[in-house]
Amino acid sequence: MPKNIVVTPPDVCTLCPRRCKADRAAGQCGFCGAGNTLKVARAALHFWEEPCISGTKGSGTVFFSGCTLKCCFCQNYPISAEGLGKEITVEHLAEIFLNLQAQGAHNINLVTPGQWRPWIIAALDLARAQGLHLPIVCNTGGYETVESVAAWRGSIDIWLADLKYVSAALSAELSAAPDYFAQARPAIEAMMAQAGHPVFDAEGILQKGVILRHLALPGHMDDSFAVLDQMAAWNEADPGCFLPSVMSQYTPFYKAAEHGIGRRITTYEYRRVVNYAMDKGLTMGYMQQKSSAKEEYTPSFDLTGV
């Protein structure tokens, strides 16, 4: 495998909606925490995504360090907020992709990759030249720019994206992003236009398309209803243009209690959200069982596979 692939870090970083203009080439870290050297926290088969992603063999997940959001309830906070990760080369990342394929993964699942896009695209190109043929999943919080979605064209097959909020006040309080919905809505529309309608293989494993997730939060059903209204509007305009996934797995990690959401969602709350989704016609997708809100579903970040 070729050595010493050099990726020039941005000297005025605008990779995400923050457009913080950090001089990452000089070693300055952006708002996301990413600097000039690629960092990965975990690479392993993952069995707890939606069934069409994890299948029976698992999704080949690679968790990248840093995040453009600052969610107070993040279950991955050691890597998203605290910087856990190992510095690696583009060549090593390509080897990780190929190793996950050799383990039988259904796909390569890039978790919070946006801040490392130039490095990842270089690694994907290298791995494909070495025989990587799996679908590539971009697992994102939805806080993207339209330009970033366009830049991933040819590298991403499946968008596994959140639509977390509509309320600017709520997204400011819980994720330090008052412009979350204003950025996520056009970005998700660009994802759907780019990927097209979902396509499955003979085993029911997704090969291309968009899965749009929403995590129901305790005490915020009204905003969940607003999110589902937006999802329903997209589905009504182009039926089947994405797969909805309504999730109950919220667990009060990290600083959640400091922001008024220090409890799990109740069965009553979640049932109301699910019923609302079904009433809106969002039936061709996934609804989690309430039992999914368990800490055991969160992977340990011990640099496995890196």
Say if CB 41 and CB 306 are below 8 A apart: yes
Q: What is the mean pLDDT of residues 102-106?
A: 98
Give dist(CA 13, CA 29) in Å, integer.
Answer: 10
Distance (Å, rounded) from C-alpha 33 to C-alpha 22? 10
- Which is it for strands 286-287 and 243-247: parallel, antiparallel or unpaired? parallel
Rounded to two decimals, the pTM is: 0.95
Tell whether residue 67 is among the known ligand binding residues.
yes
CA atoms within 13 A on the CB side of 17: 21
| DSSP classification of residue 26 | G
- The per-residue pLDDT for range 175-223, each reduced to its tens digit, is 999 999 999 999 999 999 999 999 999 999 999 999 999 999 999 999 9
Q: Is 71 annotated as a binding residue?
A: yes
Amino acid letter for position 113: P
What pLDDT, on the 0 to 100 scale, is given for residue 289? 75
User: Measured at the alpha carbon of residue 146, what is the angle toward residues 133 and 245, in degrees to the nearest 5?
Assistant: 65
Q: What's the topology of domain 33-295?
A: TIM Barrel (3.20.20)
In tens, the pLDDT along 240-283 reads 999 999 999 999 999 999 999 999 999 999 999 999 999 999 99
pLDDT tens sequence across 161-181: 999 999 999 999 999 999 999
Task: Evaluate if residue 1 carries a pLDDT over 60.
Answer: no
Residue 305's pLDDT is 80
Strand partners, 138: 110, 159
DSSP state of 295: G
Write the CB contacts of 196 (distance below 8 Å, at least 6 apart in sequence): 208, 209
pLDDT value at position 299?
A: 60
**Residue 72 assigned ligand-binding role:** no
pLDDT at 295 over 70: no
